[in-house]
Structure 1
Amino acid sequence: MPYFFQQLLNGLHSAALYALLAFGYVLINGMLKRTNLAHGPVFAFAGQTLIFAAVFGWNVLWLTLPAAVALGVFAAFAYSALVATILSRSVFLPLAKSTPNAIVVATLGLALVLMELARIAADTRDFWLAPVLATPIVFWSHGGFQVTLTLMQLVNCALAVVAIAAAALTLAHSSFGRHWRAVSDDPGAAALCGVDTADVFRWSVLAGSMFAALAGVMAALYYGNMSFGTGMVFGLKVLFVTAAGSYRDPVRAAVGAALFGVAESLWAGYFLIEWRDAWMLGFLVALLVLTRTGEETHDRQPR
């Protein structure tokens, strides 16, 4: 029982990362309604930028570790905002009404650009952060086995809950939330009602990318390293989770992604971890096929 509880707690941190990514993905997809392969790379790019900036602050500027990490966090959000602005103005808006494959190709190209920028900046080397807030907090001790989470894990989970709750309240009660729902449902009708659809589009892409950046910052601070492949894998999982769950409700997508994160942790605790991604992605594909098949059968029934 303590081992199960430990795996369950471990899953909370993964759940926080997946929930942030899913919430941000749906914010963007509500406007775009196209497959966006750049979301995971933005997540990885933010984490890598934090690490590069922190290493620069430590080695070159001779900053203390907290100051170097603060510099890295600032750089991660600043560069992610720049990438989001380029995405919305130069990629998404011009291609929003084109064929779906155009967005797929464009975002895949952007992913490759971000990957090469990170590789060149790192000179094809790996940089690691020193452990941050790695003090273990004991929740339960039984028979010599301690169930723990680090302080960093607890802070990350709390940040994710606060960020998603604040964004959900904003969407529910603000004019931006009303405009987002209107443009997501019917951009043409929203424009006729006086909504600046392009402005809503740009702010949605920026907000969604900031959620990905926050997840990247949290992952980099916890793991101490961030590879571009990790970003692609996380992005693909979130893509399938939101496809099987909800493309229209960010909160529902975040909850589904969080449950997926917990399930993934439980798999890693009891089965071969080498097969974790294959089995979890296979489960998502099967769920996607079953849910979409059910919807199509319902739609074809005579009315």
Structure 2
Amino acid sequence: MAYFLQQILNGFHSGALYALLAFGYVLTNGVLKRTNLAYGPIFAFVGQVLILVAVFGWQVLWLTLPATVTLGIVAAFAYAALTATVLSRSVFVPLATRSPNAIVVATLGVALVLMELARIAAETRDFWLPPLLAEPVVFLSANGFTVTLTVIQLVNCALAAVAIAVAGQALTRSRLGRAWRAVSDDPGAAAICGIDVRRVFYLAVLGGALLAALAGSMAALYYGNISFGSGMVYGLKVLFVTAAGSYRDPTRAAAGAACYGIAESLWSGYFPIEWRDAWMFAFLVALLLLTRTGRDEGRATV
């Protein structure tokens, strides 16, 4: 029982990262209505920016560890905002009314560019941050097994919960949130009602990128390193999770992604980890087919 509880707690941390990414992805997809393959790579790119800037601050500027980590976090969010601005103005807006495949191809190209930029900047080397806030917090001790989470895991889970709660409340109660829902439902009708559709579009893409920046910063500080190709894997997982769940409700998508993180942790604890991604992707594909079939049958009976 203690071992099972440990896997559940580990899943909370993984689920926090997936939840942030799912919320941000749906926030963007709600106004874009196209598959965005660049979202996961933004998450990894931002984490790599944090690590590279932190290494620069430590080795070149001779900053203290708190100062260099802070500098890395600021740079990560700045690059996320810059990437979102360039994407929304130079890629999404020109291609939003074209074939859906145009956005898929363009964002795949952006994903490759981001991965290569990070690789070239790091000179194809892996830089590692030192363990941060790694002190264990004991939750339970039974039969010689101790259930723990580190301080940074608890901080990350709390930050993710607060960020999703605040963003969810903003979408529900703020004027901008109502405008986002109007544009997500029908941009033409929203424009007739006086809503600045393009402004809402830009802010949605920016908000999604900032949530990806938060997730990327949390992952970089916890794991100490993010590989060049991990962003695509995270992006595909979030894409399938949100497709099987809801593209219209970011909070619901975040909850589904958190459950996926817990399920992934349970697989890692009880089954061969090398098969984890293959089986979890198979589960998501099956879930997607079942949910889509159910929706199609529901529409057919109306």
**1:108 aligned residue:** 108
**Residue identity matched to 1:281:** F
Give distance in 2, aligned partners of 1:228 and 1:205.
23
Give distance in 2, aligned partners of 1:64 and 1:146.
34
Q: Give runs of aligned pairs for residues 96-245 of structure 1, distance below 5 A.
A: 96-245=96-245
CA contact (8 A) 2:119 2:228 kept: no
Give distance in 2, aligned partners of 1:298 and 1:4.
38
Establish whether residue 42 from structure 1 lines up as the match of residue 69 from structure 2.
Answer: no
**Residue identity matched to 2:212:** A
Give the TM-score, by structure 2 length: 0.99
Give distance in 2, aligned partners of 1:124 and 1:210.
26
**2:256 aligned residue:** 256
- C-alpha deviation, 1:294, in angstroms: 1.3
**1:281 aligned residue:** 281
- C-alpha deviation, 1:145, in angstroms: 1.1
Give distance in 1, aligned partners of 2:120 and 2:232.
18
| Cα displacement string for residues 192-248 of structure 1 (whole angstroms, at most 9, x for unaligned residues) | 000000000000000011111110000000000001221111110000000000000
Establish whether residue 64 from structure 1 lines up as the match of residue 64 from structure 2.
Answer: yes
Give distance in 2, aligned partners of 1:167 and 1:38.
22
Give distance in 2, aligned partners of 1:228 and 1:215.
16
Q: Report the aligned-residue RMSD.
A: 0.6
**Residue identity matched to 1:185:** D
Give distance in 2, aligned partners of 1:297 and 1:172.
30
- Give the share of equivalent positions with the same residue, in percent: 73
- C-alpha deviation, 1:63, in angstroms: 0.5
**1:76 aligned residue:** 76
**1:271 aligned residue:** 271
Give distance in 1, aligned partners of 2:293 and 2:250.
23
- C-alpha deviation, 1:91, in angstroms: 0.5
Structure 1, unaligned stretches of length 5 or more? none
Give distance in 2, aligned partners of 1:71 and 1:134.
21
Give distance in 2, aligned partners of 1:279 and 1:149.
26
- Matched residues, number: 302
| Cα displacement string for residues 56-101 of structure 1 (whole angstroms, at most 9, x for unaligned residues) | 0000000011111000000000001000000110011111111000
Give distance in 1, aligned partners of 2:30 and 2:124.
36
Give distance in 2, aligned partners of 1:125 and 1:234.
21
- C-alpha deviation, 1:22, in angstroms: 0.2
Structure 2, unaligned stretches of length 5 or more? none
The 3-state SS of whatever aligns with 1:139 is strand
CA contact (8 A) 2:129 2:224 kept: yes
| Cα displacement string for residues 21-59 of structure 1 (whole angstroms, at most 9, x for unaligned residues) | 000000000000100001100000110000000000000
Q: Which runs of 4+ in 1 moved over 3 A?
A: none
Give the TM-score, by structure 1 length: 0.99
- C-alpha deviation, 1:262, in angstroms: 0.3
Give distance in 1, aligned partners of 2:71 and 2:175.
33
